[in-house]
Protein backbone atom coordinates (compact mmCIF):
# COMPACT_ATOMS: atom_id res chain seq x y z
CA UNK A 1 0.00 0.00 0.00
CA UNK A 2 1.10 3.55 -0.60
CA UNK A 3 2.42 5.14 2.61
CA UNK A 4 0.46 8.39 2.33
CA UNK A 5 -2.68 9.66 0.70
CA UNK A 6 -0.83 12.49 -1.02
CA UNK A 7 1.75 10.25 -2.67
CA UNK A 8 -0.46 9.08 -5.52
CA UNK A 9 1.69 9.30 -8.67
CA UNK A 10 0.51 11.42 -11.54
CA UNK A 11 0.36 8.38 -13.81
CA UNK A 12 -2.15 6.78 -11.43
CA UNK A 13 -4.26 9.92 -11.38
CA UNK A 14 -4.23 10.02 -15.17
CA UNK A 15 -5.35 6.40 -15.31
CA UNK A 16 -8.19 7.07 -12.87
CA UNK A 17 -9.29 10.20 -14.70
CA UNK A 18 -9.32 8.46 -18.06
CA UNK A 19 -11.61 5.76 -16.72
CA UNK A 20 -14.39 7.90 -15.30
CA UNK A 21 -17.85 8.23 -16.90
CA UNK A 22 -18.12 11.87 -17.91
CA UNK A 23 -21.22 12.05 -20.06
CA UNK A 24 -24.28 13.75 -18.68
CA UNK A 25 -27.50 11.78 -18.46
CA UNK A 26 -29.12 11.58 -21.85
CA UNK A 27 -32.75 12.54 -22.13
CA UNK A 28 -34.90 12.54 -25.19
CA UNK A 29 -38.27 14.09 -25.77
CA UNK A 30 -41.47 12.20 -26.47
CA UNK A 31 -42.36 11.09 -29.94
CA UNK A 32 -44.42 13.46 -32.09
CA UNK A 33 -48.15 12.92 -31.71
CA UNK A 34 -50.30 11.94 -34.66
CA UNK A 35 -53.85 10.80 -35.03
CA UNK A 36 -54.24 7.01 -35.05
CA UNK A 37 -54.85 5.32 -38.39
CA UNK A 38 -58.26 3.94 -39.23
CA UNK A 39 -58.89 0.25 -38.92
CA UNK A 40 -59.28 -0.02 -42.68
CA UNK A 41 -55.78 1.32 -43.24
CA UNK A 42 -54.06 -0.35 -40.31
CA UNK A 43 -50.28 0.05 -40.62
CA UNK A 44 -50.08 0.67 -44.39
CA UNK A 45 -46.54 0.15 -45.63
CA UNK A 46 -45.21 -0.58 -42.14
CA UNK A 47 -44.18 -4.25 -41.94
CA UNK A 48 -42.89 -3.84 -38.37
CA UNK A 49 -46.27 -2.76 -37.02
CA UNK A 50 -48.13 -5.23 -39.23
CA UNK A 51 -45.96 -7.93 -37.64
CA UNK A 52 -47.00 -6.79 -34.17
CA UNK A 53 -50.64 -6.82 -35.24
CA UNK A 54 -50.26 -10.34 -36.55
CA UNK A 55 -48.98 -11.42 -33.15
CA UNK A 56 -52.11 -10.39 -31.36
CA UNK A 57 -52.45 -6.60 -31.51
CA UNK A 58 -56.19 -5.78 -31.42
CA UNK A 59 -57.35 -4.38 -34.75
CA UNK A 60 -60.16 -2.39 -33.21
CA UNK A 61 -59.59 1.35 -32.71
CA UNK A 62 -60.04 0.73 -28.96
CA UNK A 63 -56.74 -1.15 -29.03
CA UNK A 64 -54.78 1.92 -30.19
CA UNK A 65 -53.16 3.77 -27.30
CA UNK A 66 -51.49 7.16 -27.31
CA UNK A 67 -49.66 8.95 -24.53
CA UNK A 68 -51.36 12.23 -25.44
CA UNK A 69 -54.77 10.64 -24.84
CA UNK A 70 -54.15 11.05 -21.12
CA UNK A 71 -55.28 14.65 -21.33
CA UNK A 72 -58.08 14.00 -23.74
CA UNK A 73 -61.71 14.43 -22.84
CA UNK A 74 -64.85 13.01 -24.33
CA UNK A 75 -65.89 13.22 -27.92
CA UNK A 76 -65.02 10.96 -30.76
CA UNK A 77 -61.25 10.80 -30.24
CA UNK A 78 -59.26 7.73 -29.23
CA UNK A 79 -59.79 6.28 -25.75
CA UNK A 80 -57.49 7.33 -22.95
CA UNK A 81 -54.37 5.34 -22.24
CA UNK A 82 -54.84 4.03 -18.73
CA UNK A 83 -52.57 5.95 -16.34
CA UNK A 84 -50.03 4.00 -14.35
CA UNK A 85 -50.40 4.02 -10.60
CA UNK A 86 -48.66 2.01 -7.88
CA UNK A 87 -48.37 -0.73 -6.95
CA UNK A 88 -46.46 -1.58 -10.12
CA UNK A 89 -45.95 -4.97 -11.69
CA UNK A 90 -42.22 -5.45 -12.17
CA UNK A 91 -40.24 -8.12 -14.02
CA UNK A 92 -36.47 -8.39 -13.51
CA UNK A 93 -34.23 -10.82 -15.40
CA UNK A 94 -31.22 -12.27 -13.61
CA UNK A 95 -32.78 -11.44 -10.26
CA UNK A 96 -31.81 -14.24 -7.87
CA UNK A 97 -28.56 -12.57 -6.77
CA UNK A 98 -26.52 -9.39 -7.01
CA UNK A 99 -28.08 -6.13 -8.15
CA UNK A 100 -31.10 -7.92 -9.66
CA UNK A 101 -32.00 -9.44 -6.30
CA UNK A 102 -31.45 -6.11 -4.51
CA UNK A 103 -33.74 -4.36 -6.99
CA UNK A 104 -36.42 -7.02 -6.49
CA UNK A 105 -36.34 -6.58 -2.71
CA UNK A 106 -36.49 -2.79 -2.98
CA UNK A 107 -39.53 -2.91 -5.30
CA UNK A 108 -41.22 -5.34 -2.92
CA UNK A 109 -40.50 -3.04 0.02
CA UNK A 110 -42.21 -0.27 -1.94
CA UNK A 111 -45.33 -2.44 -2.20
CA UNK A 112 -44.93 -3.56 -5.82
CA UNK A 113 -45.43 -7.02 -7.31
CA UNK A 114 -42.32 -8.70 -8.71
CA UNK A 115 -41.51 -11.56 -11.09
CA UNK A 116 -37.98 -12.91 -10.62
CA UNK A 117 -36.16 -15.31 -12.92
CA UNK A 118 -32.81 -16.90 -13.65
CA UNK A 119 -31.39 -19.96 -15.37
CA UNK A 120 -31.17 -21.94 -12.12
CA UNK A 121 -34.41 -23.57 -10.98
CA UNK A 122 -32.86 -24.19 -7.56
CA UNK A 123 -31.97 -20.51 -7.06
CA UNK A 124 -35.36 -19.34 -8.30
CA UNK A 125 -37.17 -21.60 -5.84
CA UNK A 126 -34.94 -20.65 -2.92
CA UNK A 127 -35.10 -16.91 -3.51
CA UNK A 128 -38.82 -16.95 -4.24
CA UNK A 129 -39.53 -18.79 -0.99
CA UNK A 130 -37.38 -16.38 1.00
CA UNK A 131 -39.07 -13.35 -0.53
CA UNK A 132 -42.53 -14.81 -0.01
CA UNK A 133 -41.81 -15.29 3.68
CA UNK A 134 -40.78 -11.65 3.95
CA UNK A 135 -43.31 -9.98 1.64
CA UNK A 136 -46.23 -12.39 1.32
CA UNK A 137 -47.48 -15.01 -1.10
CA UNK A 138 -49.29 -12.62 -3.43
CA UNK A 139 -46.44 -10.24 -4.24
CA UNK A 140 -43.62 -12.32 -5.70
CA UNK A 141 -43.45 -15.00 -8.37
CA UNK A 142 -40.50 -16.81 -9.91
CA UNK A 143 -39.74 -18.91 -12.96
CA UNK A 144 -36.77 -20.32 -14.82
CA UNK A 145 -35.66 -18.37 -17.88
CA UNK A 146 -32.52 -18.55 -19.98
CA UNK A 147 -32.59 -15.22 -21.82
CA UNK A 148 -30.41 -16.71 -24.56
CA UNK A 149 -33.35 -18.84 -25.66
CA UNK A 150 -36.24 -17.20 -27.49
CA UNK A 151 -38.69 -19.86 -26.32
CA UNK A 152 -37.73 -19.22 -22.70
CA UNK A 153 -38.32 -15.48 -23.03
CA UNK A 154 -41.70 -16.07 -24.66
CA UNK A 155 -42.56 -18.45 -21.82
CA UNK A 156 -41.50 -15.76 -19.34
CA UNK A 157 -44.00 -13.35 -20.92
CA UNK A 158 -46.73 -16.00 -20.73
CA UNK A 159 -45.86 -16.63 -17.08
CA UNK A 160 -46.04 -12.92 -16.24
CA UNK A 161 -49.38 -12.53 -18.00
CA UNK A 162 -50.78 -15.54 -16.18
CA UNK A 163 -49.71 -14.29 -12.75
CA UNK A 164 -50.07 -10.52 -13.10
CA UNK A 165 -51.91 -9.90 -16.41
CA UNK A 166 -49.50 -7.11 -17.35
CA UNK A 167 -46.02 -5.74 -16.61
CA UNK A 168 -45.42 -2.04 -16.01
CA UNK A 169 -41.64 -2.15 -15.54
CA UNK A 170 -39.34 -4.68 -17.24
CA UNK A 171 -35.67 -4.54 -16.19
CA UNK A 172 -33.14 -6.35 -18.36
CA UNK A 173 -30.49 -7.17 -15.78
CA UNK A 174 -29.30 -10.64 -16.84
CA UNK A 175 -25.67 -10.46 -17.90
CA UNK A 176 -22.42 -12.39 -17.80
CA UNK A 177 -18.68 -12.08 -18.31
CA UNK A 178 -18.28 -15.85 -17.84
CA UNK A 179 -16.27 -14.98 -14.71
CA UNK A 180 -13.35 -14.50 -17.07
CA UNK A 181 -10.80 -11.70 -16.64
CA UNK A 182 -8.10 -12.26 -19.21
CA UNK A 183 -6.98 -10.85 -22.57
CA UNK A 184 -9.22 -11.69 -25.51
CA UNK A 185 -6.47 -13.80 -27.13
CA UNK A 186 -6.60 -16.08 -24.08
CA UNK A 187 -10.39 -16.28 -23.85
CA UNK A 188 -12.04 -19.58 -24.76
CA UNK A 189 -14.75 -20.03 -27.37
CA UNK A 190 -17.14 -21.12 -24.65
CA UNK A 191 -16.57 -17.94 -22.61
CA UNK A 192 -17.03 -15.68 -25.63
CA UNK A 193 -20.25 -17.43 -26.63
CA UNK A 194 -21.54 -17.18 -23.04
CA UNK A 195 -20.86 -13.44 -22.85
CA UNK A 196 -22.19 -12.50 -26.28
CA UNK A 197 -25.31 -14.66 -26.28
CA UNK A 198 -26.30 -13.56 -22.78
CA UNK A 199 -25.52 -9.85 -23.00
CA UNK A 200 -26.41 -9.13 -26.62
CA UNK A 201 -28.70 -11.82 -28.02
CA UNK A 202 -30.46 -12.23 -24.67
CA UNK A 203 -31.05 -8.50 -24.37
CA UNK A 204 -32.46 -8.30 -27.89
CA UNK A 205 -34.82 -11.22 -27.29
CA UNK A 206 -36.05 -9.70 -24.03
CA UNK A 207 -36.57 -6.26 -25.60
CA UNK A 208 -38.47 -7.77 -28.50
CA UNK A 209 -40.84 -9.73 -26.29
CA UNK A 210 -41.24 -6.92 -23.76
CA UNK A 211 -42.22 -4.46 -26.51
CA UNK A 212 -44.66 -6.94 -28.02
CA UNK A 213 -46.20 -7.49 -24.60
CA UNK A 214 -46.40 -3.87 -23.47
CA UNK A 215 -47.62 -2.53 -26.81
CA UNK A 216 -50.84 -4.46 -26.24
CA UNK A 217 -51.34 -3.20 -22.67
CA UNK A 218 -53.73 -0.32 -21.94
CA UNK A 219 -51.15 0.98 -19.45
CA UNK A 220 -48.23 0.56 -21.84
CA UNK A 221 -44.92 -0.04 -20.13
CA UNK A 222 -41.32 0.90 -19.44
CA UNK A 223 -38.26 -1.17 -20.32
CA UNK A 224 -34.91 -0.54 -18.59
CA UNK A 225 -31.70 -1.89 -20.08
CA UNK A 226 -28.80 -2.08 -17.63
CA UNK A 227 -25.44 -0.94 -18.95
CA UNK A 228 -22.00 -1.77 -17.58
CA UNK A 229 -18.28 -1.23 -17.97
CA UNK A 230 -17.58 -0.23 -21.56
CA UNK A 231 -20.97 1.34 -22.21
CA UNK A 232 -19.40 4.80 -22.45
CA UNK A 233 -16.91 3.65 -25.09
CA UNK A 234 -13.89 3.48 -22.79
CA UNK A 235 -11.62 0.42 -23.05
CA UNK A 236 -12.15 -2.61 -20.85
CA UNK A 237 -8.88 -4.59 -20.86
CA UNK A 238 -9.14 -8.14 -19.47
CA UNK A 239 -12.86 -8.26 -20.32
CA UNK A 240 -12.99 -6.84 -23.83
CA UNK A 241 -15.91 -8.98 -24.95
CA UNK A 242 -18.01 -7.91 -21.97
CA UNK A 243 -17.23 -4.23 -22.59
CA UNK A 244 -18.14 -4.57 -26.26
CA UNK A 245 -21.51 -6.08 -25.41
CA UNK A 246 -22.23 -3.34 -22.88
CA UNK A 247 -21.35 -0.69 -25.45
CA UNK A 248 -23.98 -2.27 -27.67
CA UNK A 249 -26.60 -1.88 -24.92
CA UNK A 250 -26.59 1.90 -25.35
CA UNK A 251 -26.82 1.63 -29.14
CA UNK A 252 -29.65 -0.89 -28.97
CA UNK A 253 -31.61 1.32 -26.57
CA UNK A 254 -31.24 4.34 -28.86
CA UNK A 255 -32.25 2.30 -31.90
CA UNK A 256 -35.34 0.95 -30.16
CA UNK A 257 -36.29 4.46 -29.06
CA UNK A 258 -36.00 5.57 -32.70
CA UNK A 259 -38.02 2.59 -33.97
CA UNK A 260 -40.83 3.19 -31.49
CA UNK A 261 -40.98 6.87 -32.40
CA UNK A 262 -40.79 6.12 -36.12
CA UNK A 263 -43.70 3.70 -35.82
CA UNK A 264 -45.73 6.03 -33.58
CA UNK A 265 -45.70 3.65 -30.62
CA UNK A 266 -46.09 6.08 -27.75
CA UNK A 267 -47.15 3.79 -24.93
CA UNK A 268 -43.84 1.91 -24.62
CA UNK A 269 -40.56 3.55 -23.63
CA UNK A 270 -37.05 2.06 -23.51
CA UNK A 271 -34.60 3.53 -20.99
CA UNK A 272 -31.01 2.95 -19.86
CA UNK A 273 -30.13 2.15 -16.28
CA UNK A 274 -26.58 2.50 -14.98
CA UNK A 275 -25.81 0.99 -11.56
CA UNK A 276 -22.11 1.83 -11.74
CA UNK A 277 -19.66 -0.52 -10.02
CA UNK A 278 -21.52 -2.95 -7.75
CA UNK A 279 -19.87 -5.42 -5.39
CA UNK A 280 -21.37 -8.50 -7.00
CA UNK A 281 -19.69 -11.88 -7.48
CA UNK A 282 -19.11 -10.83 -11.08
CA UNK A 283 -17.13 -7.72 -10.14
CA UNK A 284 -15.26 -9.14 -7.16
CA UNK A 285 -14.01 -12.13 -9.14
CA UNK A 286 -11.91 -9.65 -11.11
CA UNK A 287 -10.31 -7.99 -8.08
CA UNK A 288 -6.92 -9.52 -8.80
CA UNK A 289 -4.82 -6.53 -9.86
CA UNK A 290 -3.75 -3.34 -8.08
CA UNK A 291 -5.73 -1.20 -10.49
CA UNK A 292 -8.89 -3.28 -10.10
CA UNK A 293 -8.68 -3.15 -6.30
CA UNK A 294 -8.06 0.59 -6.39
CA UNK A 295 -11.16 1.27 -8.52
CA UNK A 296 -13.39 -1.13 -6.59
CA UNK A 297 -12.55 0.46 -3.24
CA UNK A 298 -13.11 4.00 -4.51
CA UNK A 299 -16.09 3.63 -6.84
CA UNK A 300 -17.99 0.45 -5.99
CA UNK A 301 -21.04 0.16 -3.74
CA UNK A 302 -23.06 -2.76 -2.42
CA UNK A 303 -26.18 -3.89 -4.32
CA UNK A 304 -28.46 -2.61 -1.55
CA UNK A 305 -26.99 0.90 -1.66
CA UNK A 306 -27.36 1.07 -5.42
CA UNK A 307 -30.90 -0.32 -5.38
CA UNK A 308 -31.90 2.22 -2.71
CA UNK A 309 -31.06 4.95 -5.24
CA UNK A 310 -32.26 3.36 -8.47
CA UNK A 311 -35.68 2.03 -7.51
CA UNK A 312 -37.24 5.36 -6.38
CA UNK A 313 -35.93 6.97 -9.58
CA UNK A 314 -37.38 4.16 -11.71
CA UNK A 315 -40.77 4.32 -9.96
CA UNK A 316 -40.89 8.09 -10.35
CA UNK A 317 -41.16 7.74 -14.14
CA UNK A 318 -44.53 5.92 -14.30
CA UNK A 319 -45.76 7.80 -11.23
CA UNK A 320 -45.27 11.07 -13.12
CA UNK A 321 -46.85 9.54 -16.25
CA UNK A 322 -43.64 10.35 -18.10
CA UNK A 323 -43.14 8.83 -21.54
CA UNK A 324 -39.67 10.31 -22.14
CA UNK A 325 -36.63 8.04 -22.58
CA UNK A 326 -34.30 8.49 -19.63
CA UNK A 327 -30.77 7.46 -18.63
CA UNK A 328 -30.68 6.91 -14.86
CA UNK A 329 -27.12 6.82 -13.45
CA UNK A 330 -26.04 5.95 -9.94
CA UNK A 331 -22.35 6.71 -10.41
CA UNK A 332 -22.19 10.13 -12.07
CA UNK A 333 -18.97 11.83 -13.12
CA UNK A 334 -19.31 14.35 -10.29
CA UNK A 335 -19.72 11.60 -7.70
CA UNK A 336 -16.72 9.71 -9.07
CA UNK A 337 -14.46 12.77 -9.06
CA UNK A 338 -15.57 13.61 -5.53
CA UNK A 339 -14.53 10.17 -4.35
CA UNK A 340 -11.20 10.42 -6.15
CA UNK A 341 -10.54 13.74 -4.43
CA UNK A 342 -11.48 12.31 -1.03
CA UNK A 343 -9.13 9.41 -1.57
CA UNK A 344 -6.22 11.63 -2.59
CA UNK A 345 -6.80 14.26 0.10
CA UNK A 346 -7.90 12.11 3.02
CA UNK A 347 -7.19 8.49 2.10
CA UNK A 348 -10.90 7.76 2.11
CA UNK A 349 -12.23 4.27 1.22
CA UNK A 350 -8.77 2.65 1.28
CA UNK A 351 -9.23 -1.11 1.65
CA UNK A 352 -13.02 -0.62 1.87
CA UNK A 353 -13.83 -3.88 0.09
CA UNK A 354 -10.49 -5.46 -0.79
CA UNK A 355 -7.00 -5.10 0.66
CA UNK A 356 -4.75 -3.04 -1.60
CA UNK A 357 -1.10 -4.00 -1.97
Q: In the annotation, is 309 catalytic?
A: no
How many angstroms separate the CA atoms of 33 and 117, rounded?
36
The HSE-up count of residue 231 (CA atoms within 13 Å, CB side) is: 26
What does the angle CA 166 – CA 167 – CA 168 come to, to the nearest 5 degrees?
A: 120
Sequence-ordered strand ranges (E) for 158-314: 169-172, 221-226, 268-274
Peptide bond before residue 87 is cis, with ω within 30 degrees of 0:
yes
CA atoms of 295 and 283, how far apart (whole Å):
11
CA distance 31 to 220: 15
Catalytic residue among 166, 242, 309, 337: 242
Are 100 and 170 in contact by the 8 Å Cβ rule? The answer is no
Task: Kindly report the number of other CB atoms within 10 A of residue 188's CB atom.
Answer: 11
Q: At what angle do helices 98-109 and 121-135 cross, to 10 degrees?
A: 20
User: What's the DSSP call for residue 44?
Assistant: T
Q: Which of 224, 236, 230 is nearest to 248 (CA)?
A: 230
Would you please indicate which residues are annotated as catalytic (active-site) residues?
A: 242
Amino acid sequence: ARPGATSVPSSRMATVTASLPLRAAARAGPAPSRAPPSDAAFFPGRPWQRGLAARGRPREPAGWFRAEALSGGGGGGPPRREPMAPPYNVLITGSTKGIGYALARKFLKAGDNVVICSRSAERVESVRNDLKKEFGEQHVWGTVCDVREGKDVKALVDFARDKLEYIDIWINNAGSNAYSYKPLVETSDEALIEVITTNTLGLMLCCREAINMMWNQPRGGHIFNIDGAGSDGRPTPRFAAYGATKRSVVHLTKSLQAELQMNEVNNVVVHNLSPGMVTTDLLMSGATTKQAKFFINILAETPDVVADYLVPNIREIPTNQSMKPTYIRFLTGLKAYSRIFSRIAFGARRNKYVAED
